[in-house]
């Protein structure tokens, strides 16, 4: 059951890093928000190189790595933009669609059958997404659905969820052909380098020194991000991808609570209800999908 607790740790640390990013760095462009997260985590990642077992990656590793990395960069940019654009309680719950997309992509690409448990989980996730905007039914029954696509953070997180449904299995392949420590460090340091190359696109809207203006908060952010990375990689190496990702998606519940506590976001009761139902769907997929 070690993977179970590592997945929960990944969920809590991810939600915490999301809250810190939105609270202290959302005044920056999305590229710089991402650079703050990865930049402050980099010392932890690089220092870990002295303590991990090294491997000689094979061709399969590099293929999975090369395919996943640009997709991860796109997802990461959209993730930061979603945190910047919308309340946590409206953006983060849409990460629950990742396990549903994993089932659907397996059905479309590999002709894998959708089990009754998986289909039930997908329906619960859709129902929970509807309930996030339940109060809008006073205008029309379709208004909660329309609200999803009107909210930029919700739209972006749906895209992120779909991309993660592709990168999560690719990451598992890369881990199998290396080890979770090596892959986690190399993958995220490479993502950091990509963010640095993109920095000039954002430097004209915010000075780079903005990234180091609150070093203590940055240190805390880097610690939570590094914790997420290592606990994720370790957990996913120990169990089925769907199980691990499903449990990690409890981060959306922590995210909604952070939205209520730190940002005084509105309509938390209905958003929390929707989030709980979405988590129920995620767990149903993980256990019986």
pLDDT tens-digit map of 198-257: 877 765 666 666 677 788 999 999 999 999 999 998 998 888 777 787 788 889 889 999
Q: Which residues contact 212 (CB under 8 A, 6 or more apart)?
A: 218
Taking the domains of the chain in order of start, what are their residue ranges?
2-288
pLDDT value at residue 208: 63
Nearest by Cα to 78 from 155, 189, 186, 191: 155
In which band, very low, low, confident or very high, does the pLDDT at 40 lie, cut at 50, 70 and 90? very high
Q: Tell me the whole-structure pTM to 2 decimals.
A: 0.88
Q: With pLDDT > 90 as the criterion, what percentage of the chain qualifies?
A: 43
DSSP per-residue letters across 136-196: GGGT-TTHHHHHHHHSHHHHHHHHHHHHHHHHHHHHHHHHHTS-HHHHHHHHHHHHHHHHH
Report how far residue 77's alpha carbon sits from residue 201's, in angstroms, rounded to the nearest whole number: 13
pLDDT value at residue 66: 95
Q: Which residue has the tokens 């919700």?
A: 154
- Compute CA distances 277 → 13, 112, 177, 191, whole Å: 22, 25, 36, 33
Report how far residue 276's alpha carbon sits from residue 258's, in angstroms, rounded to the nearest whole number: 15
Nearest by Cα to 186 from 28, 68, 29, 33: 68
Report how far residue 282's alpha carbon sits from residue 101's, in angstroms, rounded to the nearest whole number: 11
Report how far residue 228's alpha carbon sits from residue 197's, in angstroms, rounded to the nearest whole number: 24
In which band, very low, low, confident or very high, does the pLDDT at 98 lie, cut at 50, 70 and 90? confident
């Amino acid at each position: 059951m070690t993977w179970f607790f590592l997945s929960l740790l990944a969920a809590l640390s991810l939600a915490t890093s999301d809250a810190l990013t939105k609270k202290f760095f959302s005044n920056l462009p999305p590229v710089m928000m991402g650079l703050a997260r990865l930049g402050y985590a980099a010392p932890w990642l690089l220092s870990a190189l002295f303590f991990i077992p090294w491997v000689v990656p094979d061709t399969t590793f590099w293929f999975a790595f090369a395919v996943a990395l640009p997709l991860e960069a796109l997802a990461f940019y959209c993730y930061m933009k979603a945190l910047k654009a919308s309340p946590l309680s409206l953006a983060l719950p849409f990460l629950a669609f990742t396990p549903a997309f994993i089932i659907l992509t397996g059905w479309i690409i590999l002709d894998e059958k959708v089990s009754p448990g998986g289909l039930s989980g997908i329906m619960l996730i859709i129902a929970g997404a509807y309930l996030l905007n339940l109060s809008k039914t006073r205008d029309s029954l379709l208004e909660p659905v329309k609200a999803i696509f009107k909210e930029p953070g919700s739209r972006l997180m749906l895209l992120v969820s779909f991309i993660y449904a592709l990168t999560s299995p690719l990451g598992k392949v890369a881990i199998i052909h290396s080890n979770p420590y090596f892959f986690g460090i190399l993958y995220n340091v490479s993502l950091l380098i990509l963010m640095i190359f993109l920095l000039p696109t954002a430097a004209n809207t915010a000075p780079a020194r903005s990234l180091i203006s609150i070093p203590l908060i940055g240190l805390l952010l880097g610690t939570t991000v590094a914790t997420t990375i290592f606990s994720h990689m370790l957990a996913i190496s120990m169990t089925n991808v769907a199980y691990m990702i499903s449990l990690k998606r409890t981060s959306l519940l922590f995210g909604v609570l952070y939205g209520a506590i730190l940002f005084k976001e509105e309509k938390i009761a209905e958003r929390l209800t929707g989030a709980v139902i979405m988590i129920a769907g995620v767990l149903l997929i993980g256990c019986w999908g």
